[in-house]
Structure 1
Amino acid sequence: MSARDITIAPGAASPAWKALLYLLMIGIAVASAFPLAWMVLSSLKTPAEAMQTPPVWIPATPSLDAYSKVAELINVGRSFANSALIAGVTTFGILVTSLMAGYAFSKYRFRGRDALFAITIATMFLPPIVTLIPLYRLVGSLGLNASLVGVILPNLANAFGIFLMRQFIAGVPDELLEAARLDGASEMRILFQIVAPAVAPALAALALFAFVYHWNSYLWPLTVLQGNSDNYPIVISLSRLLSYNRSAVNTNLVMAGATLAVLPPLILFVFLQRFFVRTITASGMTGQ
């Protein structure tokens, strides 16, 4: 019997490997969800339960009193509106500028294109703390200190977004774009009616990354707003709970505030996650 006559039954070890894979996935999911579950459960505890040792996992009498107390300590509605404005406008700006710049870098040929793209990518390696003071002086020179516009304006373009869009747009067939030009379509129409739908999953991923990052941004808004508490986003407003929490007595308040802050990004993730698995090439563009 030769080696080529020896065959291995397909899927012989599949059940065991599948079981092991499922156990591994369950373990990773539980470990990842545990901090979130602990935060939510702790927000429903009484101060005594939050201090108890060994810790109480499930509150005996779940209560929303911590959420009411948080609403008394900070202006939750105004802070949420500020965060939504900052994160929403910034995300929209990043999507538009990244799509346009990615399209130009991917589909246009011009002198210095590669060098300019390399410089753009190089900015990704700069720590945010390095650009903090120059951006702050720039915003101050424009008279935008202590305003939401000053927080939003420097973040309307993003090197990572440009890089991501360039890589995805490169997969859009040039023949399709040329056909649209022959039909008289303008470049903006081609960009937003042909290219944008083709890279919709990438846009959805970029929107999620940008929204979560700027929703949770702390240092830059704190630097620009300079004590103008009326314009504080929810993340900065929650810092008042940390100063209020001088001991474990008020741990449930901190957890309640954190639960409120994490809800919008979590809801956005649930809404956009279906785009992550969608193919970026629409029907009729695969050449099959």
Structure 2
Amino acid sequence: MPSLLRLHRLKLAALLLASNLALLLHLAAGDLKPMAEWVWLDILGEGGSALLCLVWLGLVLKSRPAGRVTSFLAMGLGLVFFSWWVDALDEFIKLPDSITWDHWLESAPMPFGLILLTLGIYHWHREQLAISAQMEKRERLFREHRLFDNLTPLNTAEYLRRQLDQALQHARNAQQPLSLVILDLDDFSRINHLHGHAEGDRVLQALSQLLLLNLRHQDLLCRLAGDRFVVLLPNTGEGQARQLAEELRRAVEHLAHKARDHGERLQLHASVASVMALQDDAEGLLQRLNQALARAKQPRYPRSA
């Protein structure tokens, strides 16, 4: 398995370049201090802080995929490391009193780094809250029904039909709208053919998490079959369902899933459709939904003159 650090090599290369430039500037402008003038407590404090920051950066880059949150965290930790690194250089290299740029290199990156780091931690916190909410719902449903897909953390088609019967009855009694959205990956067999079924399974698992993060707490996402997913939307009208379907379609197109073998991004596309419950039973509603998807997947040719 290629390390995720390879996906962030540009960030690491930029940090290495900046650190070496700072070192060369200090060596060109100042003189090395004799060992007798070294203050070991300062060296351990400043150098140790820089080293720990570099370790934190490595752990973040190794454990997270590329994205906005990772970029905030990486840039923030990189700036904090750079500030501590320049501060540590002063313990080994003495600069003339007339030079003031070293104070800017020491102090200026730190507040910007902390701001970026705070933004990254905030968005990471929101990610974890969304995932935790979905996991809490999944665990509750597992204790009640244990009808879950073997590959993804989602419920099966059988569970969807059971819940749909109840949801239809509740919607009629409460006189509330109920809608379904269906999403089907286009040309998914090509991924299995070119990259293998194991990579295809990883795509479906990543897609499941992506869809969960883009749904409301009350929505129910199930894997209908293969690369086809259905969302049950309580108290949702036709227009809102169409809007949500389009948002899910765009989210799939922007998913930055990278193949494990060579690290190339797999460009995904999906067809979506939505229907609102009328006087259907569960099977009739699902049949209308599949028919709507079939129409959505049909190629659209320009009309001849």
Higher share of residues assigned helix: 1
TM bin (shorter chain) = under 0.3
Output the TM-score relative to the length of structure 2: 0.21
Larger relative contact order (Cα-Cα within 8 Å, sequence gap ≥ 6): 1
Query: TM-score, normalized by length of structure 1?
Result: 0.22
Bigger radius of gyration among the two: 2
